[in-house]
A = this chain, B = another copy of it.
Amino acid sequence: MPAKSQQGAQSVSVALVGSGGAGVMTAGTILLDAAAKAGWYGLMTRSVGPQIRGGESAALLRLSTTPVECHGDSFDVLIAVDWQNFTRFAKEVPLSAHSVVLADPAAGAPPATVVDIGLQIIDVPMQEILKKVAGGRPNMLALGLAAAVLGVPDDIVTKVVERRLGKKGGEALESSLQSVQAGRAAAPALDGRFTLAPAADATATRWLMSGNQAAGLGALRGGVRFVAAYPITPATEVLEWMAPRLTKLGGALVQAEDELASINMIIGASFGGVPSLTATSGPGYSLMAESIGLAVAAEVPIVVVNVMRGGPSTGIATKSEQADLNIAVYGLHGDAPHVVVAPTSIGDCAVTSQWAVHLAEKLQTPAIVLSDQFLGQAQAVLSPPVDTGEGPDRLINAAPQAPAARYEVTESGVSPMTIPGVAGGQYISESLTHNIRGRPSTLADDHLAQIEKRQRKLSTFDYGERWADIDGDGPIAIISWGSCCAPIREAISRLNGGGKDLRLISLRLISPVQPERMAEALNGVKRALIIEQSHSGQLYRYLRAYYDLPKDTQCYHRPGPLAFTPGEIRDQIARMQ
């Protein structure tokens, strides 16, 4: 049930469902955009069926007076244009006895599972109403209904519809606007139960973006100017967002023939001196493993964004899971230390990917960004993620003395690099075990010296405070990462007393481990709970391998595809308290 005050609700969840492809998604996007303009924050995810096009789909929105990055325990309002295949994604649209359903009786009776909840079902004769609108659109009618119920101002909705659908031309636009109005007119009076309160900082700048776009932006901010990639769900939008923008920045994106090519193309480009990135998901990441190891051994900076989806194998391409932690951390043959970072929120995809570029360049190593489908494909209205100002700070030897010692053993472990074109700096970037000059060697001493150097540069680097976000200082620590962080934050804030006995550690730096910082972060902690979306508890096992965790450490983990809800997590925490 939405918290309701005199000023209206703090947050409201609305699901727009209906078959026929993009219809409800368009309505949802307009609603989200309008809400942003009206000063609210918000989140929209989509649920699609197996059909490539035209199958069932649902736009799942949550609008809020404060920043919001997860859905609630149940949806307040469900607007069903039709019920086609609703059962397929019913679990993604949890409803409660307090929910309200607006549905067209002409589209058939609501499914028994919905009726049985005992919620309020209000008939809205949508098809009937639309008969009166020339070219009437059910999705726009649903938009009008939702806007009315939530109290999103008319003029703002109209403006957004005009901007977004304007290119469709006069008549189409006109019937859309009329459908919206018809929806508004048909909306039932619900005592303002779902009307949103005004946002506290309604005039502050808001951005509407997905995590995948944010990751692209962060990479460009960090200095990436070359991308090679092979399309894969749910990472393709990172690439499709970057492609046209790179050409405007003087960079380039090459669609490679496969992931083996894309990873090697970026290694080549980075060897040439240009900060480079690829984006993929589990199956593609697996194919890149051998050559990520090459970048480790040859010490070539690269960034690989893995937007995790359900696994194993082809798995569930359109849904989220956090089960690629193992392969990201441990998935290279030989001893091959490298950097793994993970965004802690949708907006943080920008900050974390910018940081990844910086770390890769600074440490001359691959940096893996482990995002996930939820973060990547959710659309959010959020405060603009900061530009950290960090760029590709590569240690370059601009005036080399021959013979070049490309792999010189230095105290920091970082060896100055020369860039092709510069005389006297020639060297071979080498995949074989090599000596300081990059000459192949099978000597134990050379092998050890280079292996130690590569470990040292990672272990001794000062990653600063950004390794994790730490909230609270209670004796019970929750450790988590990625898209799990948002529902955990909400669960904590809901707990009695604002969860004062809790402390949340949202990890951003997964590898290398930070034992000292963790010890400090766990100072005073008696019990710990690790929360993650994997069946085998990958994060828990990893932390256990490398950190000294409190004796009483538990792990709550389960696979995808369903996202965690704040309520589900609150129950887990309550059990600890």
List residues of A whose CB falls within 8 A of some B CB: 49-50, 88, 91, 260, 282-283, 285-287, 289-290, 293-294, 296-298, 310-316, 318-319, 321, 323-324, 326-327, 329-337, 431-433, 440, 442-444, 447-448, 451-452, 455, 534-536, 538, 541-542, 544-546, 558-562
Contact = CB atoms under 8 A, between A and B. Distances in A.
A332 B336 contact: no
A313 B331 contact: no
24 contacts: A286-B289, A286-B332, A293-B313, A294-B314, A296-B313, A297-B314, A298-B313, A310-B433, A310-B442, A312-B332, A312-B335, A316-B432, A323-B335, A326-B330, A326-B332, A327-B330, A327-B331, A331-B333, A444-B561, A447-B560, A448-B558, A455-B536, A542-B545, A545-B545
Contact of A282 (B296, B334, B541): B334
Given A49-B442, A286-B290, A452-B535, 16 more contacts: A50-B440, A88-B443, A282-B333, A285-B333, A293-B313, A296-B313, A297-B315, A310-B442, A312-B332, A315-B431, A316-B447, A319-B442, A335-B534, A448-B559, A455-B535, A455-B536
B334 A315 contact: yes
Contact of A335 (B297, B319, B448, B536): B536
Nearest to A334: B311
B327 A329 contact: no
A314 B324 CA distance: 24
A297 B326 contact: no
B330 A330 contact: yes
Contact of A333 (B297, B312, B536): B312
Contacts of A285: 333
Contact of A451 (B283, B541, B559): B559
A131 B544 CA distance: 68
A326 B332 CA distance: 8
A542 B433 CA distance: 25
Given A443-B88, A559-B448, A310 B287 contact: no
A327 B316 contact: no
A333 B311 contact: yes
A335 B289 CA distance: 17
A424 to B, nearest CB: 26
Nearest to A557: B335
A561 B432 CA distance: 13
A337 B559 CA distance: 14
A334 B330 contact: no
A546 B311 CA distance: 22
Given A296-B313, A313-B297, A330-B329, A335 B535 contact: yes
A323 B316 contact: no
A286 to B, nearest CB: 4
Nearest to A324: B333
A444 B562 contact: yes
A195 B536 CA distance: 57
Contact of A313 (B316, B319, B330, B431): B431
Report the 7 A-B pairs with minimum CB-CB distance, sorted nearest first: A311-B334, A312-B334, A282-B333, A297-B313, A286-B290, A312-B336, A330-B330
A298 to B, nearest CB: 7
A353 B541 CA distance: 28
Nearest to A558: B448
B337 A333 contact: no
Looking at A431, A442, A534, A558, the one whose CB has the most chain B CB atoms below 10 A away is: A442
A296 B293 CA distance: 23
B286 A293 contact: yes
A337 to B, nearest CB: 7
B334 A331 contact: no
B329 A334 contact: no
Contact of A546 (B50, B336, B541): B541
A316 B433 contact: yes
Contacts of A542: 545
Contacts of A326: 330-332
A323 B333 contact: yes
A301 to B, nearest CB: 16
A499 to B, nearest CB: 27
Contact of A541 (B312, B331, B545, B559): B545
